[in-house]
Structure 1
Amino acid sequence: MFEDFKGAFSKPNNGLIQIILINVIVFLLLNIFMLMFKWTGLAGWYVYVERNLMLPANLSVFITRPWTLITYFFSHENIFHILSNMLFLYWFGKLIEEYLGNRRLINLYLLGGLAGGILYLLIYNLIPYYNNQIEKSVMLGASGAVYAVVVGAATLMPNYTFFMLLLGPVRIKYIAAFFLVLSFVQLSGDNNAGGQLAHLGGALLGFIFIKQLKKGTDLGQPLTALAESIKKLFAKKPAMKVTYHKKESNRSTVSSYNQTTYTPNQDEIDAILDKISRSGYESLTKEEKQKLFRASQKN
């Protein structure tokens, strides 16, 4: 099992599984710590650990624990909470990963979690209705980040169909809309209003992310640049070698061209559209879907 986990993290372009595994590992560790501390009569230490993962609504407390703006959306306490979140992340994340690539899926998840947390902090500190709950309100769970992926996928491919148990084929735009309405109507409740705010914050980010991406603006680019800088910082520097090269043809320039800037020609797009008309959208390969998306950006 350890080797499987290790292989999942070493495998390139495996961001979706890595995010799910991080959430599962944190969940298991939290529950192991809870049992250990309870058995040894040190339950107060578990409360301390959990408190340092939860996002507090009170700004004066948040300032002392700023890392919770990230840790909260990688942590769960309830088995049904993490199960539902990870299933939704997998189903909708697969679409984002297949159509937009691994890096953009990771960026969308991270930005959605941050947006959900920021909206939660703002609403609880600016709206009088929530001020009387601010001292006891904390948030834990990846729902905001997951909603960003769900709404992002529904914005990108609104008519893509999932086959739901007992319901049959349902377009994902209706699935996303149902859960958004459900979160909105629960905002007035006292039990999990913070979680519903995170849902809506993540959903708004997912919608804006895809809309801007279609216009040619990648909101996740700063995160990509940061990740590349960290990767270079920890990368091993190769030993210096002196080599001699013959002058190569322009083929090397073409092969190193950044494929994310490549726009397919009309013949390629026509062939893809013909394939959709014959076999449906689901028959497209990952590369064909990405070509279709780049063409839509150009238009």
Structure 2
Amino acid sequence: MISLSPVVRVILILNVLAFLVTGSAVINQFGLHSVLSDDFRPVQLLTHMFLHGGLGHIFSNMIGLLVFGPMLEGVWGSRRFVFFYLFTGLGAAALYLGVNYYEMSHLLEAVDAYRSAPTPENFMSFITDHAGSSYDRIEPFLNSFEANPRDPRFIQESLGFVNTYWLAQVNEPMVGASGAIFGVIMAFGLLFPNTELILLFPPIPVKAKYMVLFYGAYEIYSGVYRAQADNVAHFAHIGGMLFAFILVKYWGSQRKKFY
């Protein structure tokens, strides 16, 4: 039976309450938007950590918190655990926003380039480079546009698609406590590297340090090579682990003998 520590209990309650009242309007207002979006607000750096997009999303995050959080809070104390949780969550958001800014800036350049030269060839290049998952859906339109390259109707429709795609990408909010949870997992692996954990699938024991190594390698791979249909914020996970590593090592350097 899992024993809840005070701060873990509060974080769990806040996430569950937020999930119960979360709708599309709440996510749009308090989820973390790209800094290039008109919907971006600084407060979202904090509020997005307590919102989730579905039952499976919140369940997986809260399980991670319940399994690894109490031991860290027991070692550090409540005040330090709160600082750690917020530090890693905000760090995860910062890395996510940095990567997102880079990606969205390149997308905006492609959008502006197409707006200045809306031809079938350029439209096909835009789809191939940025919206490949939409190809099957718009293939009939592509064929018609290629057959009628100067038809104003097709030009306007292609511009409408590009503009709509840009707005959908830049205004898509990121939500979830995953950044902070991955930070908690990283800290657990650093402080208790040889603790054996039992995996669910398959049910075999694995040391915490190997689990952290696997998670880190997987997230880096997924962040760099992810498919367009993958909506997981892998770089937020990486950010949480990175900032956790930095903070744990810093705290460790402040004393001769760490935990």
TM-score, scaled relative to structure 1: 0.59
Tell me the distance in 1 between the aligned counterparts of 2:94 and 2:256. 34
- Alpha carbons of structure 1 residues 74 and 168: separation in structure 2 relative to 1, 3 Å: same
SS in 1 for 2:198: strand
Tell me the distance in 1 between the aligned counterparts of 2:55 and 2:222. 22
SS in 1 for 2:30: coil
One-letter code of the match for 1:125? Y
One-letter code of the match for 2:206? V
1:90 equivalent in alignment to 2:66: yes
Instruction: Give the 5 Å matches for 1:134-283.
Output: 134-165=169-200, 166-187=202-223, 188-192=226-230, 195-216=233-254
Match of 1:120 among 92, 96, 105: 96
TM-score, scaled relative to structure 2: 0.68
- Alpha carbons of structure 1 residues 51 and 198: separation in structure 2 relative to 1, 3 Å: same
- How much has 1:195 moved relative to structure 2? 1.0
Tell me the distance in 2 between the aligned counterparts of 1:68 and 1:58. 11
SS in 2 for 1:170: strand
- How much has 1:90 moved relative to structure 2? 1.2
Tell me the distance in 1 between the aligned counterparts of 2:204 and 2:211. 12
CA contact (8 A) 1:116 1:198 kept: yes
Match of 2:38 among 26, 51, 61: 61
CA contact (8 A) 2:27 2:173 kept: no
- Alpha carbons of structure 1 residues 193 and 173: separation in structure 2 relative to 1, 3 Å: farther
SS in 1 for 2:205: strand
- Alpha carbons of structure 1 residues 141 and 24: separation in structure 2 relative to 1, 3 Å: same
Match of 1:21 among 13, 19, 35: 13
- How much has 1:177 moved relative to structure 2? 1.8
- How much has 1:183 moved relative to structure 2? 1.6
- Alpha carbons of structure 1 residues 193 and 120: separation in structure 2 relative to 1, 3 Å: farther
- How much has 1:167 moved relative to structure 2? 3.2
One-letter code of the match for 1:137? E
Q: Give structure 1 stretches of 5+ with no counterpart.
A: 1-7, 31-45, 217-293
Q: Which runs of 4+ in 1 moved over 4 A?
A: 127-130
Q: Give structure 2 stretches of 5+ with no counterpart.
A: 109-165
CA contact (8 A) 1:137 1:194 kept: no
SS in 1 for 2:18: helix
SS in 1 for 2:233: helix
Q: Which residue of 1 aligns with 2:133?
A: none
One-letter code of the match for 2:17? I
CA contact (8 A) 1:120 1:194 kept: no
CA contact (8 A) 2:7 2:78 kept: yes
CA contact (8 A) 2:39 2:171 kept: no
SS in 1 for 2:197: strand
1:51 equivalent in alignment to 2:43: no
- Deviations 1:258-294, CA, capped at 9 Å, x for gaps: xxxxxxxxxxxxxxxxxxxxxxxxxxxxxxxxxxxx6
- Alpha carbons of structure 1 residues 297 and 172: separation in structure 2 relative to 1, 3 Å: closer
Q: Cα RMSD (Å) of the superposition?
A: 2.4
- Alpha carbons of structure 1 residues 138 and 60: separation in structure 2 relative to 1, 3 Å: closer
- How much has 1:192 moved relative to structure 2? 4.1
Tell me the distance in 2 between the aligned counterparts of 1:297 and 1:176. 20
- How much has 1:130 moved relative to structure 2? 6.2
User: Percent identity, aligned pairs only?
Assistant: 30
Tell me the distance in 1 between the aligned counterparts of 2:250 and 2:106. 32
One-letter code of the match for 1:296? K
Say how many residue pairs are matched: 194
- How much has 1:48 moved relative to structure 2? 2.7
- How much has 1:77 moved relative to structure 2? 2.3
1:296 equivalent in alignment to 2:257: yes
